[in-house]
Amino acid sequence: MAAEQGKVDPMHQFTIEPLVRWEVAGYDLSFTNSAMWMLVTTLVVALFVAGGLKRQLVPGRWQMAVEVFTGFIDDMLEANIGKEGRKYVPYVFSLFMFILFANLLGLLPLGVVGLHPFTFTSHFTVTGVLALISFSIVLIVGFWKHGFHFFSLFVPHGTPAPMIPIIFLIELFSFLIRPFSLALRLFVAMMAGHVLLKVLSGFVINGANAGIGIGALVSIPSFALMIAISALEILVAGIQAYVFALLTSLYINDAEHLH
């Protein structure tokens, strides 16, 4: 990690290391740190939701916390899709909670005790699969409900006849690019924040190593900035999870209602 000149390598935190090696017919199926943190995230989300399933008439604090999240997703789907949106609550809720908890767990300062959290949402493979699930749901629901009429999504009402081929191509392209933009946004937002934190930590360490004068001049402002950026990262973790769920619900709305 600490390469030459005591530099902190900002990309080291994204390396995937196998914890349990396992190869099947030449394919590497090792249990990696990425997989472990996915498992941890799933467990934490399951525990959090299970704590709120007591169904008391007067909810306690924990049940209230869970109900805030379910109610939030429920309202979002109701506002964007309408009453047909209710049946997507389980999917969008799981998606939102999984991404939110993954982002937040990846920010935990557990490195102090030697346990390095791994933010798996900073990998395009992971966010890409999540985006593909959302996109598949859109395609399946769209073709299931409307059949080939689904293609009218690409030709808005009242398009002049000569414009139809061009508009069709543009709309088709913008439709097909959705899973990429969805996955890219989450992955880059998480990665950029973590790289920024590591670069600042490099400033703090190198400044402190260079002596007390430079240390006070460089390390202390950098450290203050790190704290502020960490607060911003918590905000970004929430916003990105929200945006992912929001855009998924908007895409599902297209599939449910066409235009």
Partner 1 sequence: MEAEAAKLVGAGLAAIGAGMAAIGVGNVFGSFLESALRNPGAADGQQGRLFIGFAAAELLGLLAFVVAMILIFVA
Comparison of 97 and 246: residue with beta carbon closer to partner 1: 246
- Is 253 a binder of partner 1 (CB under 8 A)? no
Supply angle C-alpha 74, 78, 79, rounded to 5: 120
Interaction between residue 125 and partner 1 (CB under 8 A): no
Footprint on residues 180-199 left by partner 1 (CB under 8 A): 181, 184-185, 188-189, 191-192
Taking the least distance from each CB to partner 1, the nearer of 34 and 248 is 248
Least gap, CB of 61 to partner 1 (angstroms) = 26
C-alpha distances in Å from residue 185, one per residue of 71, 130, 152, 242: 25, 12, 28, 12
Question: Does 174 interact with partner 1 (rule: CB under 8 A)?
Answer: no
Residues 6+ positions from 40 with CB-CB distance below 8 Å: 105
The reply to whether 143 sits near partner 1 by the rule CB under 8 A is no
Element spanning 20, H or E: strand 18-20
* Distance of closest approach, residue 112 Cβ to partner 1, in angstroms: 28
Q: Should residue 247 be labelled a site residue for partner 1 when binding is judged by CB under 8 A?
A: yes
Indicate the residue type of 259. H
Q: Does 15 bind partner 1 (CB under 8 A)?
A: no
CB atoms within 10 A of CB 147: 9
Residue whose CB is less far from partner 1, 52 or 236 = 236
CA distances from 100 to 41, 107, 117, 132, 225 (A): 9, 11, 15, 18, 24
218 DSSP assignment: I
Using CB under 8 A as the binding rule, whether residue 66 contacts partner 1 is answered as no
Sign, CA torsion 119/125/129/134: positive
Site string for partner 1, 68-87 (x = CB under 8 A): --------x--xx-------
Cβ proximity to partner 1: between 223 and 242 the closer is 242
Smallest distance, partner 1 to C-beta of residue 195, A: 9
Let me know: does 135 contact 251? Beta carbons within 8 Å: yes
Helices (H), the chain: 33-50, 61-81, 89-107, 124-146, 164-176, 178-209, 212-214, 220-257
Q: Which amino acid is at 111?
A: G
Q: How far is the CB of 187 from partner 1 (least distance, A)?
A: 9
Question: Closest distance between partner 1 and the C-beta of residue 232, in Å?
Answer: 13
166 contacts partner 1 (rule: CB under 8 A) = no
Residue whose CB is less far from partner 1, 133 or 188: 188
Residues that bind partner 1 (CB under 8 A): 11, 76, 79-80, 181, 184-185, 188-189, 191-192, 239, 242-243, 246-247, 250
